[in-house]
Amino acid sequence: MTAVRRLPSQLLSLFLILFLSPVSTSLKDDEALFGFKDSLRNTAAIDSSWIKGTSPCAAGKTWKGVVCHEETVQTIRLQGIGLSGDIDVEYLSKLENLRSLTLAYNNFSGPIPPFNKLGGLRALFIQGNQFSGSGTKWVILGVVVALLLMTIFFKAKQKEDHFDVLAKENIDDIVEVRVPSSNRRSTSSRRGNDSFHSRKSSHHGKSVGDLVVVNDAKGTFGLQDLMKAAAEVLGNGGLGSAYKALMGNGVSVVVKRMREMNKLSKDAFDSEIRRLGNLRHQNILPPLAYHYRKDEKLLVSEFIPKGSLLYLLHGDRGTSHAELNWPIRLKIIQGVAQGLGFLHSEFASYELPHGNLKSSNILLSSSYEPLLTDYAFFPLISNTQTAQSLFAYKSPEAILYQQLTPKSDVYCLGIIILEILTGKFPSQYLNNQKGGTDLVQWVNSAIAESREVELIDPEIANATGSLAEMEKLLHLGAACTESEPDKRIDLREALRRIEQIQV
């Protein structure tokens, strides 16, 4: 049986509509955007920057939520700004190079708009609204599956006709999962590493769509399981897009579609991801599986329900945030430090053992045990601009001298410490550093004036018996963020001092 007959008809038709539809008639981008805006209500958040008579892509002009590439609109990000109304997709369809649309967490309601008319769209984020009707599930799930299908079927066979690809491939090959019998390993990742190279070719098959399991702690699964899963979009970052999928066996996973991870050959990439999947530490979240294509990769990991430290500190105001008392925050800092120390031991030869340590890449278990994610990616990334989305590139040595060292990770750890203690969102996370708080400057100024206590988050400052310990951590955070790497504390000493902090 061919792949066409085995795929759910709803998903296949959506896939064909999304990715094979012709692009609509041309219209100036500014006119299309204003037509779209006129269909919305509660647009105060964008009124001041969307100015008639100006171009959204002109030099020196910034239209809120609009990102351009080569003087055309490529991305619209209007998340969580109270928009409502009836979305006029006809105007959006005139944006010929629109690839990503984010309208999440607004106040839209009613039937799902006909987003299938956006022929060039590659990412759609509409969660957190009140859309109704049976189409809702299929649009969210269909976009995820369409992206996966496009990766699996089309990029592998660009020289063949689209329908020929679907007709010639056997579905059993496409969804085959290959798990070497030796995949179950001891808890020592170093012992497991000895067998990587001897097995590195064992998983390669002729099939286009293999999902290679590198960690079977949550069982084995394949692309077919992901395509059948209830799914939702989680977000889009510098390295790619993320989706949550709830599979039939009850396991929830995160599927990350990674861009620009093309630096290594297939065998070398396999060895690196297997090495990550083999890691065992209470503060490290290893990948479960991957799918390899020349131009992009899919990485699958366990879904952690409580979410990220970034969300709990700055976005959530519910029970989980209220539970971020001093003992919990100290536990998180100590766990992050232990996880980072483990990575620096495992990847001691790497220029950046982690490379992307920030609060959005720290997930929290049900007991608030921190789990580090998106680590050790630097050797995999081929595009310099994409690599610069790694947070280590915000360290002073990277900004001033384009130099990176393992101490760049120490700088990132320092930002985490200061962020947790003060409860402030660091401006260092923002590309232009416009917004948030410059924690390094703020803390250094306060220390110079002996005002450390004023910096402590009021939500934990009531633990007056522990203020002295909090101040010690503030000073340590300042030492970790010293602008000159030679003067910056090394990780081993930072770990020692963090472990000495008491509740």
Q: Which residue has the higher pLDDT, 43 or 23?
A: 43
* Residues 338 and 455 reside in one and the same domain: yes
**Considering 275, 302, 329, which residue would you say is the last residue of a domain?**
302
What mean pLDDT is predicted for residues 71-95? 90
Helix H or strand E encompassing 72:
strand 72-77
Domain end among 276, 302, 328: 302
Q: What pLDDT is attached to residue 433?
A: 61
Position with higher pLDDT, 285 vs 251 = 285
461 pLDDT tier (thresholds 50, 70, 90)? very high
Report the C-alpha gap between 172 and 175 in whole angstroms: 6
Query: Closest Cα to residue 94, out of 32, 186, 144, 161?
Result: 32
What pLDDT is recorded for position 250? 83
pLDDT given at position 175: 23
Q: Are residues 213 and 322 in the same domain?
A: no
The pLDDT of residue 133: 56
> Of 21-30, 239-248, 366-375, which range is least confident?
21-30
What confidence score (pLDDT) does residue 27 get? Answer: 57
Inside any domain, residue 33:
yes
Q: 385: pLDDT confidence band, cut at 50, 70 and 90?
A: low
At 225, phi and psi to the nearest 5? -65, -40
Q: What is the mean pLDDT of residues 71-99?
A: 89
The whole-number pLDDT of residue 177 equals: 24
Percent of the chain clearing pLDDT 90 (strictly above): 46
Q: Look at residues 90, 94, 92, 130 and name the one whose alpha carbon lies nearest to residue 111.
A: 130
Window from 164-168, 373-377, 406-410, 428-432 with minimum mean pLDDT: 164-168
- Per the structure, how many domains does the chain have? 3
Query: Is residue 157 in a domain?
Result: no
Could you tell me if 378 and 256 lie in one domain?
A: no
Same domain, 179 and 138: no
Looking at residues 475-498, what average pLDDT do you find?
97
Q: Sorting pLDDT into bands at 50, 70 and 90, what band is 444?
A: very high
- pLDDT bucket at 411, cuts 50 / 70 / 90: very high
What's 211's domain CATH number?
Answer: 3.30.200.20
Query: Of 120, 150, 180, which residue sits at a domain end?
Result: 150
Whether 495 has a pLDDT exceeding 70, the answer reads: yes
**Backbone region of residue 285 per phi and psi (left: phi > 0; alpha: psi in -120 to 50; beta: other values):** beta
**pLDDT computed for residue 117 by the predictor:** 77
**Each residue's pLDDT tens digit, 28-59:** 888 899 999 999 999 999 988 898 888 888 87
In this structure, the answer to whether residues 243 and 336 fall within a common structural domain is no
Q: Read off the pLDDT of residues 254-295 as tens digits, 9 standing for 90 and up.
A: 988 887 788 899 999 999 999 999 999 999 999 999 988 887
Asked whether residue 326 falls in the same domain as residue 465, the answer is yes
Tens digit of each residue's pLDDT (9 = 90 or more) over 330-340: 999 999 999 99
Asked if 298 and 334 sit in the same domain, the reply is: no
- Is residue 67 within a helix (H) or strand (E), and if so which, with residue range? strand 66-69
Query: Residue 265 and residue 413: Cα distance in Å, rounded?
Result: 31
Cα→Cα distances 375→340, 409, 449, Å: 9, 11, 37
> Among 200-209, 389-398, 405-414, 494-503, which is the least confidently predicted range?
200-209
What is the rounded CA–CA span in Å between residue 253 and residue 175?
A: 17
| CA atoms of 235 and 483, how far apart (whole Å) | 32
- Chain segment 311-321, per-residue pLDDT in tens: 999 886 678 88
The single residue listed with the structure tokens 């995160």 is 254
Give yes or no for a contact between 126 and 136, defined as CB atoms under 8 angstroms apart: no
| Cα–Cα distance, 22 to 412 (Å, whole number) | 45
C-alpha dist (Å) from residue 488 to 346, 406, 408: 22, 11, 10
What are the residue ranges of helices labelled H in 257-395? Answer: 266-277, 309-314, 319-322, 326-346, 384-387
pLDDT at 181: 29
Within-domain flag for 333: yes
Residue 249: pLDDT band (50, 70, 90) is confident
User: In this predicted model, which residue has the larger pLDDT, 102 or 488?
Assistant: 488
Q: Is 307 left (phi over 0), alpha (psi -120 to 50) or beta?
A: left
If asked whether residues 400 and 293 sit together in one domain, one would say: no
What is the Cα 269 distance to its own chain's centre?
19
pTM above 0.85, yes or no: no
- Residue 18: which H helix or E strand, with range? helix 9-20
Alpha carbons 120 and 97: distance in angstroms, whole number = 7
Percent of the chain with pLDDT strictly greater than 70: 76
Per residue in 121-179, pLDDT tens? 777 888 788 887 544 444 444 444 444 444 444 343 333 333 232 222 222 222 222 22
Where in the sequence is the domain holding 77, given as residue range(s)? 3-150
- Which range among 21-25, 91-95, 433-437, 491-495 shows the weakest confidence by mean pLDDT? 21-25
Q: Would 163 be classed as within a structural domain?
A: no
The answer on 140 and 16 residing in a single domain is yes
Tell me which of 18-27, 36-45, 354-363 is least confident: 18-27
Q: Around Cβ 182, how many Cβ atoms within 10 Å? A: 11
Instruction: Confirm whether 158 is domain-assigned.
Output: no
Strand 40-41 relative to strand 177-178, pairing: unpaired
Please give the torsion angle defined by the CA atoms of residues 365, 347, 221 and 366, in that order, rounded to the nearest 10 degrees: 0
Q: In this structure, are residues 372 and 391 in contact, taking their beta carbons and an 8 Å threshold? A: no
- Residue that wins the pLDDT comparison between 296 and 272: 272
Residues 176 and 211 in one domain: yes
Looking at the structure, tell me whether residues 42 and 100 fall in a common domain: yes
Q: For residue 5, what pLDDT is reported?
A: 34
* Highest mean pLDDT out of 7-21, 185-199, 346-360, 387-401: 346-360
**Predicted pLDDT at 74:** 87
Is residue 13 assigned to a domain? yes
Contact 17/116 with Cβ under 8 angstroms? yes
**Residue 348 confidence class, pLDDT cut points 50, 70, 90:** very high
Q: Is pLDDT above 60 for 236? A: yes
The pLDDT score that the predictor gives to residue 211 is: 86
Residue 156 lies in a domain: no
**Closest by Cα among 94, 37, 25, 91 to 63:** 37
- Please give the pLDDT value at position 179: 28
Residue 161 lies in a domain: no
Query: Cα(452)–Cα(304) distance, rounded to whole angstroms?
Result: 34
Q: Are 289 and 225 in contact (CB under 8 A)?
A: no
Shared-domain flag, residues 58 and 146: yes
